[in-house]
Structure 1
Amino acid sequence: MARLDKREATIGIVGLGYVGLPLALAALDAGFKVVGFDINSGRVSAINQAEQVINYIGADVMRAAIDSGRLRATTDFGQLSEPDAILICVPTPVTKHRDPDLSYVSNTAETISKALRTGQLVVLESTTWPGTTREIVQPLMESAGFTVGQDVFLAFSPEREDPGNPHFGTKTIPKVVGADDAHSRDLAVKLYEQMISKVVAVSSAAAAEATKLTENIFRSINIALVNELKMVYAAMGVDVWEVIGAASTKPFGFMPFYPGPGLGGHCIPVDPFYLTWKAREYGMETRFIELAGQINTSMPRVVVDALAEALNQSSGKGLKGSRVLLMGVAYKKNVDDTRESPSLVLIETIEARGARCDFHDPHTPTIPPTREHAGLTGRTSIQLTAEAIADYDAVLVSTDHDAVDYALLQANAKLVVDTRNVFARLGLPMDRVVKA
């Protein structure tokens, strides 16, 4: 506790991605020494050379962090005995059958157990079902001969990152912390209080795990609702974005959510299914969650159907044989994160129906490797020029990056299918623009 108070502790971060790297920088800003661990040797090398590895974390920030002498990255997990606190920020994906894949968590916990020493605090940040910390991580730590709460300490504190959010970052988003013994909870709270503006302690690790799931399930269900409303209102000739804007003027009882071409990112498309899976162990059904998942995963197909109809109405052409330009492969605006991006599904679906689909993305020049969309790996973004735009039969806006010249698109595209309402939002002419 004293080492945390004096900020003399060394913090270990396992996983240096969109969660772990910002957390490492927050710990560094708080005055701690930080050792980052990652299995990706290329990323580790890039970080140690102060290169920009996430588009919204500038090279100047990385250079200052490395030049401080208090941050280093390594692939050597044998050094896990060095940190006083180890924060686990590894992926928790689902399988193709939407079952939890906790292999990254269990493998990391097992690796930590081999290097564990008395007095260390381990905190799991990866989103997971309630009970994971107690049922999976704790037994692995205790298999090394330690007693959690006495010799070593264990807590759960869910990551709440919103990549690229200009208003809230790691240090300003309140941190929920839960543990199954008072000493572990107090240590974890003390650690995060040095780094984060507000810490919210809850009674158990399971309560903290459930908190994160609840946040993302709330978003998933409400996004599914407006996606369904979009389809219903479109059939009635009503603009859902106009309706949401009008409803948002009510100062109470309404919170705006917006439709889109599907869900992306690591959290909202994935996390709800961790609870549906665990609920079955208790003989419970999660019908709202599963229905929301069905609606949201169906949206790329709905969008491609709308694209095909718009092509037919505007030019008499079918989708087969057409050339389509997709705007944005990142899952959200102004970031380079393609995890679970519906844009990748859109490209595959469009091409499965006989069209050619290229893309432009100012933040993602090349599609990175993914398990689900291996055939798209290495495809590169086209240069956006008036001549290039005019060569396509349709432009499909999937991700509304601010860095795109939408006026150029509007002036040169034969047809625009807009899933983000960006043209109306910017006040651009709506001729040749179809909302979807």
Structure 2
Amino acid sequence: MIDRLAIAMRPGAVLGKAKKDEFTALLDAGRQNDAENLALGHIARGVHRGFYLGQLIDHYAKTGRNGEVVRLIDDYAGDKALTSYPWRIALAAALVDVGNFDRARPLLLDLIMGHNFAAPLQLYRRLPATPDSVSMAVAAFNRSTRSANARMSHTIHLVDIAIAARELGRAAFMMESLLDVVGSTRFASLPKPKAAMKPSAGNTALVDLYDLLMPAIPFFLISGTLLGVIREGKLLGGDKDVDVGIMGAEHAGALQTKIAASPKFKEQFVPSVDLIKLTHQNGVKIDVFLHHREGEVLWHGSHLHAWDNKVWWQEGEPPLVEHEYAGRPFLIPSDPDMYLTDNYGDWRTPRSDYDASLEAPNRRVRAPQLTRLHWQKLIVRYYMDAELTLLSKAFRYYEREFGADAFLRKAGDLLILKPYQVERPEAVMPTTEVV
């Protein structure tokens, strides 16, 4: 999110490249203090101040120094450039990260109302939530001038805000209202499925994670990442992220500290103590699942689902062994066949469009109400992303788990029986409000 600053704060392409090369060269040489002093000197003298403020804020944010982001923006609050969206969202993100929620809330409400971006809603989700705070977010959202497609996709973030406040009935009503918005929206063009992760990018992220964490914080390959490495000798072409695990919660804090100090990774917020989500600088997403042993079961998951694996090692034997991949001795379960069979059944036969949150034979639901809402969001997202095979599966598994309720019947009428409606880019925004 903060990386948008590099786009919005470009005072001149030629100047920017030359100055960025100087600043970046110092960072790449490990001379962090020199790079920071270079930027601070230019800022203090007013020489290319906007450019160097952007570079320094981006650097502070990437290395987890959010207090420095707040201080720097506050010190130059009189600068006219600081009134633009990238500066204000950078400040809001830093305020949330340092826990200054009282200052962050009005800023985020103003950004929700005045801009056509999802980031303010995503940050607002991290604030302490109450029914009143949900109402404030909804009011700001309804007063915004979002485009039809943005209103459609961003409503899901309002649902998450309501869930955070335990307003589950309201969240369910929002999802039904969202169906009306989706059903009446004319797309500027036919939606296309999102591109899968490039295996080469996934390899880069995995190697960088290995070099950052191992051996102090041992992690191992799991789920689709392990499946690809064992069955194909490479990451699966259709995967959208990388999955790894750590044993227990012992190393979770140290892992988060390492990530916060790394310019290559950023932790993403999730409402779960059993899952840590990361994003690599190349865009690859990594899920780090904490694994917990209960008797003869080792489980991992989130606040929604858990996946149960039978303990695959005998007492006195190591649970993990090294497996050479991408030039590194990655750890994997010592009995990968047993592990993968629990997760996939016949794992040797390739299957397209597999969704572990729906189809895994070892999946169990931890929170039925939250899982129902999560699957409702999946149905809408699969429709908006034109993931039609996954959409069909989501309908089938939702009905199996929760029955043909009002949401599913309405979704069937609006999303399955009607074709996509396409209009010119200047499509009229639906007037349906979220409540």
TM-score by length of 2: 0.28
Decide which structure has greater helix share.
2
Larger relative contact order (CA 8 Å, sep ≥ 6) = 2
TM-score by length of 1: 0.28
